[in-house]
């Protein structure tokens, strides 16, 4: 009886020891899972914080670019308004003199007496027979009489060449590079009245 009792107690102790070992193993497993989850969450929080900081920096840069664009647009609008006011004042001054007649807003381009610009007419002479060079303008004689003096953006030109139609003035430049760089623009054109002193 005593042996049986001892055997049973030993078996119970062994079972209890196994249960303790299993419980300890579960505890260690649970602890490691919790620690790794916490670590992953911490890493995730750091990643989110880094991402948020990046997005905030990008947002700040975008706002700075927007503010610069708004300032530049405001300056451009002021410049355009000033230019328009200057042209109106110039028009009023020319009309007050009574010698100049407003021909309207024309497309103004540029050319030079080279073959690329003039093709077969690249002989260095204008339609009026004068040498082609700076200060000469090509016009449509139906709109602006050949031989007229023009004022465009405060500069004086002689309408001595043809080759354009309508409200178009082509200014002669010294070089092909200058002609290409000039491009095309709209400008007010004034013509000296015939018979004006």
Sequence-distant (≥ 6) Cβ neighbours of residue 163 within 8 angstroms? 118, 121, 127, 138, 170
CB atoms within 10 A of CB 35: 10
Report which of 140, 136, 109 is spatially closest to residue 124, judged by C-alpha positions. Answer: 136
Phi, psi of 194, rounded to the nearest 5 degrees = -65, 140
Render each residue's pLDDT in the chain as its tens digit; 197 residues.
567 676 777 777 777 777 778 777 777 777 777 777 776 677 767 778 788 888 888 888 888 888 888 888 888 878 877 877 777 676 666 555 557 788 889 999 999 988 888 888 888 888 888 888 899 999 999 999 999 899 898 889 999 999 899 999 999 998 999 999 999 999 999 898 665 44
Token digits of residue 134: 């700076």
DSSP 167: S
């Amino acid at each position: 009886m005593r042996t049986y009792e001892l055997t049973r107690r030993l078996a119970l102790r062994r079972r209890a020891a196994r249960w303790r070992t299993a419980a300890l193993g579960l505890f260690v497993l649970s602890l490691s899972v919790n620690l790794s989850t916490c670590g992953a969450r911490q890493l995730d929080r750091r990643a989110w914080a880094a991402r948020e900081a990046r997005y905030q920096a990008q947002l700040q840069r975008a706002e700075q670019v927007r503010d610069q664009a708004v300032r530049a647009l405001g300056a451009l609008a002021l410049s355009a308004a000033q230019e328009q006011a200057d042209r109106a004042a110039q028009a009023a001054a020319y009309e007050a003199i009574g010698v100049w007649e407003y021909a309207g807003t024309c497309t103004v381009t540029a050319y030079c007496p080279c073959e690329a610009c003039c093709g077969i007419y690249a002989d260095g002479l204008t339609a009026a027979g004068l040498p082609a060079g700076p200060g000469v303008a090509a016009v449509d004689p139906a709109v602006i009489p050949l031989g007229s003096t023009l004022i465009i953006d405060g500069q004086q030109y002689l309408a001595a060449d043809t080759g354009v139609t309508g409200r178009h003035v082509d200014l002669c430049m010294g070089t092909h590079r200058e002609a290409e760089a000039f491009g095309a623009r709209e400008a007010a054109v004034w013509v000296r009245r015939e018979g004006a002193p």
